[in-house]
Amino acid sequence: MDLARLVELGKIDKNTPHPPALIGQDGVLELTQLAIKKEIKAQIILNEGLMPGMHAIGEKLSRGEVFITDMLIAARAMNVALGQLKPFFLSGEIQAKGTIVLGTVKGDLHDIGKNLVKMIMEGDGWEVKDLGTDVSEEQFVEAVNNSTDAIVGISALLTTTMLHMGSAVQRLRENNPNTKIYIGGAPVSQSFCEEIGADGYFSNPHGLARELRKAPKLLI
């Protein structure tokens, strides 16, 4: 079975019980190690071996054929492979997709939606800086100042906290007008996104990753 298919199925390594049909068989870990041993270029392992698996499961999720669980299990396997490729990221042989700063706005303690976005983005090869919940405008700005090319994802679940998104967007824009800012959460909408001047709104946790896969250059 090829690497992409193993990623899609979420088969981490030989010892993991998932999926039951592949118990005892090599997983993403072993095949990535083998590819590195065979001196296949790391960028090729990533682009032609691993990413097609994430794309395949992402498309199935978009078509409603699988559940987000399936995508997260794939992302978990992908992360194991990315761990093996870490030296190549550090040496510059592989270019990381980028960094995303994530957080739930000030006064809001809800985090499951943000955490879903985090797991999916990590699985898609992004470095995620998770600021947690109850994040102030200043914390968002500080995080972006530490990663100047980062994009930002802001979440809110309450009608009494969503307005903090507007002030966060404003502060981020004042700090760096080019920072791309995306929002999500139950009370927000596309029109609210436009109203506060954010760059995009996604109604589901995989929407951002999907959009960025289609048009990564939009970010630059």
Partner 1 sequence: MTKYFGSLAIKHPDDLIFGYAPKPVSCGQGLTIGVGQVFPEINFTLPPMLINESNWNEVLSHYHNICENVLARAEKLRVPGIVMEFEHLPPMSMKPELGAEITSLIKNYLLEFYRRTGIPNALRVTVVDLRDADHPPLLRSGQRWEQTREAFILSAVAGADILSIESVGGKEVHDQALMYSDLSGIVASLGILACRDMGWLWDEIVDICKEYDVVPGGDTACGFSNTAMQMAGQGLLPATLSALVRAASAPRSLVAYEHGAIGPSKDCAYEGPIIKAITGVPISMEGKSSCCAHFSPLGNIAGAMADLWSNESVQNIKLLSGTAPEAFLELLAYDCRLFNIAENKNESRMYRDLLVRSDLEQSPEALMLEPQTVLRIARSIAQCPNPYTQTRNAIFTAFKSLQDAVDSNQLKLPSREQTWWSKIPGLLAQIPENENEAIEYLITTYHGVFNPQAYGL
Q: Which residue, 14 or 44, has its beta carbon nearer to partner 1?
A: 14
Stretch that binds partner 1, among 26-34, 49-57, 87-95, 104-112 (CB under 8 A): 104-112
Strand order in the sheet with 151-155: 127-130, 99-104, 151-155, 181-184, 200-201
Q: Which residue, 36 or 163, has its beta carbon nearer to partner 1?
A: 163
Q: Which two tokens stand for residue 48?
A: 């032609």
Find all residues with CB under 8 Å of 185, minimum gap 6, and list them: 110, 113, 155, 156, 157, 162
Number of residues that bind partner 1 (CB under 8 A): 32
71 burial type by CB count under 10 A (0-12 exposed, 13-18 middle, 19+ buried): buried
Q: Which of residues 151-170 bind partner 1 (CB under 8 A)?
A: 158-164
Q: Is 65 in the site for partner 1 (CB under 8 A)?
A: yes
Q: Which two tokens stand for residue 150?
A: 């980062």
Q: Is 108 in the site for partner 1 (CB under 8 A)?
A: yes
Q: Is 107 in the site for partner 1 (CB under 8 A)?
A: yes
Pairing of strands 181-184, 99-104: unpaired
Stretch that binds partner 1, among 40-48, 94-102, 130-138, 171-179 (CB under 8 A): 130-138
Q: Which of residues 179-208 bind partner 1 (CB under 8 A)?
A: 187, 204-205
Instruction: Choose, by CB under 8 A, the member of 25, 43, 47, 69 that binds partner 1.
Output: 69
Q: Which residue, 159 or 176, has its beta carbon nearer to partner 1?
A: 159
Q: Is 43 in the site for partner 1 (CB under 8 A)?
A: no
Q: Is 24 in the site for partner 1 (CB under 8 A)?
A: no
Instruction: Choose, by CB under 8 A, the member of 83, 87, 132, 216 that binds partner 1.
Output: 132
Contact footprint for partner 1 (CB under 8 A): 17, 20, 64-69, 72-73, 76, 107-109, 111-112, 115-116, 119, 132-134, 158-164, 187, 204-205
